[in-house]
Amino acid sequence: MLNEKFVQPMLTEGSLKGKVILITGGGTGLGKSMGKYFAQLGADLIIASRKLDVLENTADEIEKETGSKVLPVQCDVTNYDQVENLLKQSFEKFGKVNSLVNNAAGNFISPTERLSHRAFDIIVNIVLKGTYYSTLAFGKYWIKERQSASVLNIVTTYAWTGSAYVVPSAVAKAGVLALTRSLAVEWAKYGIRFNAIAPGLFPTKGAWERLLPGNISEKFNPVKKVPVGRTGEHQELANLAAYLVSDFSSFINGEVVTIDGGEWLKGAGQFNMLDSIPNELWDEIEKAVRNVKGS
Ligand code: HXC
Ligand code: NAP
């Protein structure tokens, strides 16, 4: 049920002109979609992840399509030296970085008792350590150089609910959310804003192959959990991200914005399962309830 309005760009042309935005994990999936839209709005980009060939292809595609400059930098965010090299290359090329989008992540479904400690480490290292390494490196630089900036962290709705079968990711995303809210207060005095986005279901190869492998989505159709009855369009997420890195959102700090069609709340509300009661049954139910007398 694709409605054209879901894929409409939201901000006016040039809204991010003059900005330089770094996106970790910017070569694929949601990182690529956000980057493309930022570039369409006039921003120059740095995209960073482990696979340089993937980054170079994406950089090429975005540059040709938008005319903005895109610097691809190989960087494993779990390695602080590589993050410092990313910082050096970014400032050498552009002289500034206005926003950091911590989007890189790793995840897969598994019963927790099947995980080795190394499997747990790898996810927490990418998601939590990767986010605080980038934040610390860029934050120290911005503070020293007296440059204002914004950080946008991509979390998940289970950052606050927790979730079975993706426990390392849940633990790490909860840490990222705590980092967002903590530094939003501590570093506001330096002109550095922090916000987060908690996306619901947005089809990407990286997430779908690891979280809904094989025919699992036929057995457990995840869309059934979404009140609005669909997955998100990448443009919808890109619209929100562009707003949060733009100056239009200068008074928004320490916020986590959920974009999930109501999915997590549907799982939370105690009587939400009554959704499955057909309309014609409600007359009977109402009668039964009205007939209750006394305590
Ligand atoms: C159990 C597993 C496993 C699995 C790997 N391991 N896959 N254990 N079940 N399915 C174990 C390995 O045996 C090893 O432990 C340890 O994890 C490290 O594995 P490697 O393959 O060496 O690591 P690496 O090659 O770096 O791969 C990292 C990765 C991979 C995270 C496992 O999936 C990756 O690169 N992902 C990046 C992209 C990604 O995940 N995108 C999805 C984000 S989606 P031992 O003990 O054997 O050494 C997302 C959405 C959230 O976050 C919400 C959606 C609604
Ligand atoms: P994706 O395409 O797999 O993106 C993950 C990116 O992280 C990849 O580009 C990967 O690139 C990079 N990455 C992984 N390990 C890295 C490391 N050690 N160093 C640097 N980069 C690394 O998946 P996605 O769905 O777009 O996810 C993007 C973000 O959205 C993630 O934070 C995810 O948790 C979040 N999210 C997604 C959904 C969804 O429905 N898709 C829902 C909720 C939240 P390399 O392999 O080249 O390193």
Q: One digit per residue, pLDDT tens: the chain, 295 residues?
A: 567 888 899 999 999 999 999 999 999 999 999 999 999 999 999 999 999 999 999 999 999 999 999 999 999 999 999 999 999 999 999 999 999 999 999 999 999 999 999 999 999 999 999 999 999 999 999 999 999 999 999 999 999 999 999 999 999 999 999 999 999 999 999 999 999 999 999 999 999 999 999 888 888 899 999 999 999 999 999 999 999 999 999 999 999 999 999 999 999 999 999 999 999 999 999 999 999 988 7
Q: How many CB atoms lie within 10 A of CB 137?
A: 19
96-115 burial: b if 16+ Cβ within 10 Å, else e: ebbbbbbbbbbbbebeeeeb
Residue nearest atom 5 in ligand 1 by C-alpha distance: 119
Within 8 A by CB and 6+ apart from 218, the residues are none
- Residue 251 CA, ligand 1 centroid: distance in Å: 37
158 is catalytic: yes
Q: How many CA atoms lie within 13 A of 241 on its CB side?
A: 34
Ligand 2 binding pocket includes 50 (Cβ within 6 Å)? yes
Nearest CA to ligand 2 atom 6: 25
In short, whether 68's Cβ falls inside 6 Å of ligand 2 is: no
**Which tokens go with 136?**
């610390």
Enter the pTM of the model. Answer: 0.97
Q: What separation in Å is there between the alpha carbon of 120 and the centre of ligand 1?
A: 9
Nearest CA to ligand 1 atom 15: 119
Structural domains in the chain, CATH included, are 9-294 (3.40.50.720)
Q: Find the 107 Cα to ligand 1 centroid distance in Å.
A: 6
Question: Which of 37, 132, 133, 158 does the annotation list as catalytic?
Answer: 158
